[in-house]
Structure 1
């Protein structure tokens, strides 16, 4: 009786991974929220790469644009060099906006990779240069980048308004002449310069003109906010118009939006509200510009002057 032949199990060869893939991620700040976003991007795109047997993850490139470095492109440039050296054949990123801050920057990055023959996949936008013509890709990228830039701008504006409404905006504690920051970053009175603010208000209410105040400050050897011997008219006028000296801060006042936010008593006052209002009334009285009964702007026949 013949012996049964020995049977050996020979597994199939695993598919060869032929395409070297680079993952590119970028966030706009180094805040905790953005760092978490960066981690999620890398994790998601790594899993995506692993689902395609022919892809081999070669490297991960991560840029973080901080307020100090601006639009950091260090990792993008390293990725570009690896593409030039044929270390990468495919670049995957979350969406179009990761390639730059504006449409020009995005298209420049895309065109560089296209010239190198590197396949680019914008996973979140479902865009792939392997499946889309170059002209259509450029057109789609332009429209998406523009829309995302507009959305980003609106988000920034919304964030500013939201923080202003909640009273958490750092703009409330923006330093100006007469104040300094304490250890917590809040405004406190700088006694040395605050007395000069009071002097400017007193001089104006005593009849001095802006030019007259400048001469008096020079006579007393009081340096300007920038440390110069001579003050300019704009600095004096700004101090005489800044409601912040009453302890109040109004945000978004100069915006086109009708919504404004006023924080009352957000910091110590240098000038009383009564004195501030008296100065504003006096400025109006001295102004050479008036409106007639029809709202037409015109100049007075004579202009107030108290140059000394």
Structure 2
């Protein structure tokens, strides 16, 4: 008996399966210390991939994954993780990279992905510069060369890691200043590029933050004041160079955690704390925090923004606040509640419909028979931090799960009801459309051939002197217009043909993905990840749910309506 996953694999004839367009993901990576304008720049990697896809008739780039400033010595990269998730979900079935060094410099892991993981998942892997395409049988002979090149990349990375690590260690021992990857808010590099100097516009904001907190203002109130004054966050300031909001700038709310990092940073009294984390690729050590006693403090390195006395007072208050909070936690049931909230299945998918902010998970209370009962609920993060800027839209997790489970069950029933229809009628409809497109393309090719033959005849008459130059030039102008028109029509038909093929593949993937979660008795994380793309919650508890493969549902519904009318 055939496995369930194989029931949908033969929806198309063999010839059409061979011509299936690969839905490719373009993977780009740039290291922290890479030359942003060189051959490995993101733009150059993007251009090479697009040119390669344009030349290939069976590849279409549908997604792009960028790990900017990420090392290739391991595969713990955000964009790479997203790409692998999309591969497993069937959203892409091909990976394109500029060369193997962009994919990764770790020989063992890279070889495992290319020679084991990708073939198992049925994924096509293309390395442009290395002229490697896993779908080409002749490339199998180059796997040994591929592995050797990966080994060379890893050895190079380890050698560079050792040299760079040695340089940093010498500087730390001698307490020589070197800049961090991100400049502290309120400072900039001096003209020589060798040390920090005061960036006065941002420095004034830093002084105000210290002054407000020193006199007893809470971090949350300071954040609200900064928002009301339209002060851009440090991340926005680094991008725009503006302290206050300008035309076209999005005004974001400061986080209390960002404020605390500023208040705790000794850089504002002229000191620099280095060697806070430690990592060694050539020794196989991952990044980890260094104990306080092993960290390196460089004192009086640059001009201070605040006095040492103010900084010490602020540290004392921060310490007292931490002790008070620790006491509160020991006396309350917060610890118990944190265990209740382990595993948020809506992480990254639940948003406020009014302001677009994330919905945060929290404890809510309601009364039952005169008793206060706790429940889990979601609230707009903007309202939680700045109530005046959004509405108190809340929804209980239990209620949300019930609504989404009912919606998923409804669409699963729809899929079951349409299974035979898709396997039979929709497949024939797509095949008929492809045949019609191919017939139209052949008609245009015939017209092109006739027009070209006519051109050759006119040209022969012109060269023989039986036709005037003016007559031939006019005919040539009309001929070029016709040929351009034919070419445009062929390109449009090719694009439509690719769209039809993508629709077939998407519908097949939709059936496989949704059918995999059938049978669940309650809403699970797998259901949410497989079936839901985004959820917007409005203040009146109205939900807007965007399902995964919603385009396929729309396509099938339109097709069914068209069949009913016919």
- Normalised to the residue count of structure 1, the TM-score between the two structures is 0.50
Looking at secondary structure, tell me which structure has more helix per residue.
2
- Normalised to the residue count of structure 2, the TM-score between the two structures is 0.29
